Amino acid sequence: MKKLVAYYSRADENYFGGSKKYISVGNTEKIAKRIASLTGSDLFKIEQKIPYAKDYDTCIIQAKKDLQMNARPELIALPNNMEQYDEIYLGFPNYWGTMPMAVYTFLNKFNFSGKTIYPFCTHEGSGLSSTERDIADITQGANVLKGIAIVGSLVDKENEELERWIKNEI
Ligand SMILES: Cc1cc2nc3c(=O)[nH]c(=O)nc-3n(C[C@H](O)[C@H](O)[C@H](O)COP(=O)(O)O)c2cc1C
């Protein structure tokens, strides 16, 4: 039984507590790495071939356009041997109330039937929104479990809730 943490995350300019700043590691990436080390999972970053802009204002426009077009941005790579993973922690930032469209591209590439998916997201107020259902809709036959939402600007804090979620206690 192998586990995978597959996540999308963008560094560069983002909002933190009301002001914009550049960061070198995205919020979701920090949580993804923590989950991978706590669960002994392999780690895979979902990356689009043409990344969104480094500046925040352009990025949100690009991401909104992709959502409105129901785009499937091309990815740089896919994990090898997805068949070997029974449990997948799927991480993403909340973009406009759902997942970045590159995560849809990723989910469309594989048959998740019989696999368990644990969604986790970082956000600035919207929580998971409808993402648990969005994931279930495109991963027919998968067991999509209760996700966890973590406020992006708090990812560096200790998070007992995350540890309890990993142990299936919440
Ligand atoms: C394009 C874009 C759209 C966003 N839309 C939302 C949103 O609808 N709701 C929300 O709570 N946060 C939203 N955010 C904030 C991100 O979810 C949050 O900053 C997240 O922690 C970023 O994760 P990352 O650093 O791993 O990319 C958005 C951010 C971006 C860049």
Question: Model confidence over 94-132: pLDDT tens digits?
Answer: 999 999 999 999 999 999 999 999 999 999 999 999 999
Ligand 1 neighbours, Cβ below 6 Å, are 9-10, 14, 26-29, 59-60, 63, 93-97, 122-126, 152
pLDDT of residue 159: 87
Residue whose Cα lies nearest atom 16 of ligand 1: it is 123
Residue 97 alpha carbon, nearest atom of ligand 1: 8
pLDDT of residue 118: 98
- Overall CATH class of domain 2-166: alpha beta
Residue 8 alpha carbon, nearest atom of ligand 1: 26
* Mean pLDDT over the full length of the chain: 96
Question: Model confidence over 80-95: pLDDT tens digits?
Answer: 999 999 999 999 999 9
Q: Are 85 and 118 in contact (CB under 8 A)?
A: no
Residue 151 alpha carbon, nearest atom of ligand 1: 21
Pinpoint the alpha helices (H) of the chain.
27-39, 56-68, 101-108, 131-138, 160-166
Which sequence spans correspond to the domains of the chain? 2-166
Residue whose Cα lies nearest atom 18 of ligand 1: it is 123
User: What's the rounded mean pLDDT across residues 40-49?
Assistant: 98
Residue 118: its H or E element: strand 116-123
Model confidence, pTM:
0.97
